[in-house]
């Protein structure tokens, strides 16, 4: 049984009752109008007809959003490591094919990455994990591949693969939540959206070869991330130095701060997070200890306590009564010898 082809953009627009070259606003109006008609006859929104309508609108909106993102996605530059050299290919006006296409006998090369899914910026170690997973998937194909860097000013570690069909390259890009992949042929350099509802952007190309090996942007990104984390840790520690002793930097934190030392990819973030958490815990402990000191040294205002342990209205509740000196003139209680003059056997005058 043959596989049913995916619906085209025209098919989805027809399902919504919209014209082929209509605007986004018109697509929305057509969808809402058609949905009201379906629910007016039967309010069950789980019907297959309503589900198909909702799916068509969702796909069309996703394609429209992708088109707007690709408008800001110029195919500026791709670097590919070939035989300890770096081949740089840049977009050019359509019809231009100037320089070397360094893959003899190859019909097309696709440049794939797993960085920043759906244009959402991730931290370096997250992107590195995703890129390793993509490299594993490419390795299972058995096709020839080369290290690459794409993305223009925002360099992204990539893989150049020969022998993939455009459909297979799109599927791999979609699997790793990419907006598009780059396709290089002897005649064109194209940005191929992973959503087949969106048409590819085709350019010409110019290429050159550098004698130095391909740089590794992932290593540079990791060093920058470690430096930012170390700077944040030192800044937080400096603000706490007035009340607490400064934390001694660990060997790993020092290595992350100066960009040297055997700090592994996974450890660089963990070290910074651990030092930051430790600084916060030390600060909290010092604050609690200081609060206890102040509580012990300060009388409780509500009880009216005096320095000798009595209250303004009498002895402290629950404590022994304070000794009371008897009045010699009043009689009754035995007078304190310190209150009597020497002539009466006392110690006073």
Locate the domains of the chain by residue range.
9-70, 77-215, 219-297
- Closest Cα partner for 49 from 22, 16, 20? 16
Residue 69: per-residue pLDDT:
85
Q: What is the pLDDT of residue 205?
A: 96
Q: Residue 319: helix, strand or coil by DSSP?
A: coil
Q: Which residues contact 95 (CB under 8 A, 6 or more apart)?
A: 204
**Which pLDDT does position 220 carry in this prediction?**
52
Q: What is the pTM of this model?
A: 0.60
pLDDT at 307: 43
| C-alpha span between 344 and 349 (Å, rounded) | 10
| Alpha helices by DSSP H, 75-156 | 124-141
User: Which residue, chain included where needed, has tokens 């231009």?
Assistant: 96
Amino acid 107: pLDDT: 96
Q: Are 207 and 87 in contact (CB under 8 A)?
A: yes
pLDDT at 301: 46
At residue 211, the pLDDT reads 92
How far is residue 315's CA from residue 301's CA, in Å, rounded to a whole number?
A: 15
Q: What does the alpha-carbon distance between residue 250 and residue 238 come to, in Å, rounded to a whole number?
A: 16
Tokens of 34: 């058609």
pLDDT of 262: 42
Helix (H) or strand (E) holding 77: strand 77-82
Length of the chain: 349
Give me the pLDDT at residue 239, please.
61
The number of beta carbons lying within 10 Å of the beta carbon of residue 163 is: 15
Which pLDDT score is estimated for 313?
43
Structure-token pair, residue 250: 């660990």
pLDDT at 228: 66
Query: What pairs with residue 83 in β-bridges?
Result: none
Q: What letter would DSSP give residue 203?
A: E
**10-residue averages of pLDDT along the chain (349 residues):** 74 90 87 92 89 93 89 78 94 95 96 93 93 95 95 82 96 95 96 94 95 72 62 64 50 46 42 50 70 66 44 44 46 50 49
């Amino acid at each position: 049984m043959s596989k049913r082809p995916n619906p085209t953009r025209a098919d989805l627009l027809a399902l919504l009752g919209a014209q082929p070259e209509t605007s986004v606003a018109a697509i929305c109006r057509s969808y809402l109008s058609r949905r009201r008609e379906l629910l007016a006859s039967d309010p069950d929104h789980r019907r297959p007809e309503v589900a198909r309508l909702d799916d068509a609108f969702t796909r069309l909106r996703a394609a429209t959003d992708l088109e707007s993102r690709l408008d800001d996605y110029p195919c500026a530059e791709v670097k590919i490591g070939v035989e300890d050299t770096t081949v740089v290919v840049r977009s050019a006006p359509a019809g231009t094919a100037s320089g070397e296409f360094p893959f003899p006998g190859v019909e097309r090369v696709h440049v794939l990455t797993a960085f920043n899914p759906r244009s959402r910026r991730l931290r370096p170690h997250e992107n590195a994990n995703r890129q390793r997973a993509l490299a594993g998937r490419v390795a299972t194909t058995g096709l020839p591949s080369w290290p690459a860097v794409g993305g223009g000013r925002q360099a992204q570690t990539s893989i150049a693969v020969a022998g993939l069909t455009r459909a297979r390259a799109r599927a791999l890009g979609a699997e790793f939540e990419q907006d598009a992949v780059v396709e290089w042929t002897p005649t064109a350099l194209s940005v191929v959206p992973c959503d087949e509802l969106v048409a590819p952007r085709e350019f010409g190309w110019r290429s050159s070869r550098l004698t130095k090996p391909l740089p590794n942007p992932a290593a540079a990104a990791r060093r920058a991330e470690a430096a930012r984390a170390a700077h944040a840790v030192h800044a937080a520690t400096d603000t706490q130095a007035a009340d607490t002793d400064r934390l001694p930097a660990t060997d790993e934190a020092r290595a992350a701060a100066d960009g040297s030392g055997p700090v592994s990819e996974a450890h660089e973030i963990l070290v910074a997070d651990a030092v930051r958490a430790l600084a916060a815990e030390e600060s909290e402990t010092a604050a609690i200890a200081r609060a206890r000191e102040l509580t012990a040294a300060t009388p409780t205002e509500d009880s009216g306590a005096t320095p000798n342990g009595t209250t303004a209205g009498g002895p402290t509740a629950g404590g022994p009564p304070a000794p009371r000196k008897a009045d010699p003139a009043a009689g009754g209680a035995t007078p304190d010898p310190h209150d009597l003059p020497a002539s009466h056997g006392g110690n006073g005058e």
